[in-house]
Structure 1
Amino acid sequence: MPASASRGGQNFDASGRGSASGRAESAAQRVTELIESLPPGSRLGTKEEMRTLCEVSVGTFNEALRLLQSRGLVTVKPGPGGGLFSAEQSPMVRLGNSVLALDAQQNDVADAVRIRDALDPLLIEDALWHASPADIAALREHITAMERALDDADPVAFVHANWRLHAAIAAISPNVLLGSLYTSLLDLIEGHTLSVLPTGEQPLAEYIAQRHELHRALVDALDRRDRDEALRLIHEHNTSPAETH
């Protein structure tokens, strides 16, 4: 998907410069075009050189740089000879109708995702028995954070909020070993994730909206102590074509 295209429902005018976010997107597109003409790992220049090339303010370029980093396109290296570099090719791990772009350890992350999925039903069973009203309220706060990321069209923030929800479910379990193992797996996955990208099979915004609804329904089922529905949803979560995380 070209960086200049509409993302997550955000609209840009024909020049991409109709707003501050549009100017940042336009600058990100210009750097992306430069990256595409160079081998991975190439030095692009200093931050100031790139800002001058894009003809934008410092604040706008900082936002453009944030976009480029969130998409796994640019790395920043400090010190002499440092500056902005096109990112090395990232390994990928599939996540339903999206993929995680990783910095390294592709096999370790893929294994961690599989083990984490296998532990989910155990943690849901514990949450059904042990979740207090305060626990449910805390889970709903994470659902709200996921909704904010959905509204902001920020898939990286959405996935991180999603993982925090799962960590909170794990924390409800009285089984310390199970909770510790699960959160360690989440930390491994999160620590190596650079960005979240679409696969092209479904618009990423649509996919994320579906995942938000599934997690909201899961928390509702936990609140009702509806075991059959909660286990059905966690099974759908981990085995459907849109297997989310």
Structure 2
Amino acid sequence: MPPATIPSKAETPRLSRPAQVAEAIKDWIVQEHFGAGDRLPSEPELIERFGMAKGTIREAMRILEAQGLVKSRTGPGGGTFVHEVSKERARALLGNYFYFQDLTIKDIYQLRRVLEPELAASLAGQLSKDVLGRLEAIIGEYSEPARTLDEEREQHVASLRFHALLAEQSGNALLGFLIDFMVNMLADLTVYRRLYSPPNLELWEKGKAFQLELIDALRIGDADTARLVMRDHMETAQKLMEGQEAEMQRRFISE
């Protein structure tokens, strides 16, 4: 079989040669329909197939392993294997990129307002008693207003876990991942930027009320109401969280 084609520098000016080879190997894995757990060819075979030096192939494999796409094992039965990237790993890698983008509450809610109402509508009448019970149990974690800042922080994180659990139920893997990623990123921003301070009673009260109303609509299968409730929930949360963000910025300036 002729060596695989590696893009020229003119085609991919921002990629180093090992990175280009890593992309070529990844494309080849897809084209050959390798699945998670399948063993990749040996290093000499990869050198021959891709027409690259040993050092380049090794560096390319290190890149793929860092991305979580392959995994090496030593000892009997060892080698390099295709590895399925976990949701947690994908979320962490993507989060590393957005860490440097200086996201705002408005940026996140611009997407949440579009995606989460449709998720809610799609789940109406589809959730099991177990999932509905788990959603109610999460709300139970903030059934009363927080008494301390630590409790306030934990309640914010728990309220977002409610939305992450809904995302897990989506029949659309991409939609579920995007919403899960956004709510986890929002949870991180809330903690890192101390957006839970000062405590906001209105945010707690309205957020809990919307979620309880949403559960009722999901339970009886009312998609239109579920969509409307989630839309109002997102719009209200954005307004109140932007107020928390503005307060954080005022504190930063004054300090």
**Greater share of residues in helix:** 2
- TM-score normalised to structure 2 length: 0.47
The structure whose RCO (Cα within 8 Å, separation 6+) is larger is: 1
Q: Taking structure 1 as the reference length, what is the TM-score of the superposition?
A: 0.49
Return the index of the structure with the highest Cα Rg: 2
